[in-house]
């Protein structure tokens, strides 16, 4: 069991801001299309956090043009390049 925890500790990102349910965040996703790579930003409110350590996930919900969209991401995932906490409005 200690080997698994040691591997998880190596994979945890240290630059994740401290955010809670209800906070407005921007998640930058690294999208690979063929041999091209780009960053796509998803901004919304955190509606759920689940898990801990390297297995932690969170769900972000946004409303755009009267359409709801939810996106679930891993806090230490490889596809998300960074998360940014936005100030309260």
- For 4-57, the pLDDT digits (tens) are 778 777 766 666 677 788 888 888 888 888 999 888 888 888 898 887 666 778
CA 44 to the chain's CA centroid: 11
pTM: 0.66
What tokens appear for 87 in the block? 């100030």
Fold entry, domain 2-85: SH3 type barrels. (2.30.30)
Q: CA angle, 28 as apex, 63 and 5 as ends, to 5°?
A: 115
Per domain, the residue ranges of the chain are: 2-85
In three-state form (DSSP H/G/I as H, E/B as E, the rest C), the secondary structure along 19-66 is: CCCCCEEEEEEEEEECCEEEEEEEEEEEEEEECCHHHCEEEEEEEECC
């Amino acid at each position: 069991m200690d080997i698994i925890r040691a591997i998880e500790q190596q994979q945890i990102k240290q630059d994740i801001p401290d955010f809670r349910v209800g906070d407005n965040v921007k998640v930058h996703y690294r999208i690979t299309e063929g041999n091209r790579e780009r960053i796509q930003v998803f901004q919304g409110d955190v509606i759920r956090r689940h898990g801990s350590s390297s297995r932690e996930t969170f769900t972000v919900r946004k409303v755009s043009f009267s359409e709801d969209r939810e996106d679930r991401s891993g806090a230490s995932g490889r596809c998300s390049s960074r998360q940014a906490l936005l100030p309260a409005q």
